[in-house]
Amino acid sequence: MNDLETATITSLEVAEMTGKTHYNLLRSIASYEKHFTELNFELSSYFQPSTYVDASGKENKSYNITKKGCEFIAHKMTGIKGTEFTVKYIERFHEMEQAISRQKVVEQKQEKRELPQWTPEEIVDWKLNDLHKRLQKIERQEEEKPKIGRLQRLVPKKKTWYDRNKSRIWCITRSRDMELKELYHIILEECGRYYNVDGAVDEYRRENGRTMVYPMDLVEEYKELQDIADQVLDYFER
């Protein structure tokens, strides 16, 4: 429910708008209240019992009337009086709507002023601190991976992994509409989740005096990586 739906004007103001005495307006509302009760309608959405203090200090009965309540009263009126009241209550609620909107703008500006204003230097420090935390996390993850020494080198090699799986590889790339390099990338990425692949590449270069011609040559060198590659092929064949 928005603020305008809960806004009200007093029965004193409505009486003045309609040209009725306040006493007669209260009598009309009392009859409406009786009907609402019999029909099990919610009175507070239209008329809310209240009081006011007159010039003598006496407390008297009144109602706070919602926009729906004013519409209800307007429907009961006819002729020029009904038109006059309709225009007046519409203008009155329009004024309240504008006041509510202005107040919200003021509150929003106040909230913005209360937000912490960071200097460019503080923003840079925050970003650097966040980057440092990310790098530390990556370093910990790399340290937790099994070292290259745990990999079992295939010596001597008899039949390459590619030779054994050539038909499977081509069937997968055709059925999945996948490029060969895309499949190889997925295999190497999966190997990197469990083993220090960069370390394996460095060891290969040290031992052979050259870098690998193809990234997948790494899988040909180590049994554990071939096991992972087989699992990737199994997954795509499902």
Give the least confident one: 20-24, 75-79, 148-152, 178-182.
148-152
Q: Which range in 21-35, 64-78, 102-116 is most confidently predicted, on average pLDDT?
A: 21-35
The yes-or-no verdict on residue 182 having pLDDT over 80 is: yes
| Long-range contact set of residues 214-218: C-beta below 8 Å, sequence gap at least 24 | 215/184, 215/188, 216/162, 216/184, 216/187, 216/188, 218/188, 218/191
What confidence tens digit (pLDDT) does each residue in 44-59 have?
888 999 999 888 889 9
Domain ranges of the chain: 3-113, 148-236
Q: Cα torsion for 202, 203, 206, 210, to the nearest 10°?
A: -60
The yes-or-no verdict on residue 156 having pLDDT over 50 is: no
Per-residue model confidence (pLDDT) at position 96 = 79
Mean predicted confidence (pLDDT) in 145-152: 53
- 70, 86, 92, 238 from 95: Cα distances, Å: 15, 14, 5, 68
Per-residue model confidence (pLDDT) at position 112 = 61
Phi (first) and psi of residue 195, to 5 degrees: -135, 155
The yes-or-no verdict on residue 231 having pLDDT over 80 is: yes
Strand order in the sheet with 59-66: 8-10, 59-66, 47-53
Whole-model pTM?
0.38
Per-residue model confidence (pLDDT) at position 1 = 47
- Of 60 and 192, more confident: 60
**Is 14 in contact with 37 (CB distance < 8 Å)?**
no
- 40, 43, 47, 91, 121 from 67: Cα distances, Å: 20, 13, 10, 11, 53
Per-residue model confidence (pLDDT) at position 60 = 93
Give the strand pairing for 47-53 and 59-66.
Answer: antiparallel
CB proximity list for 144: less than 8 A, separation 6 or greater: none
Q: CA-based Rg of the chain, rounded to a whole angstrom? A: 40
**Is 151 in contact with 225 (CB distance < 8 Å)?**
yes
- Of 204 and 15, more confident: 15
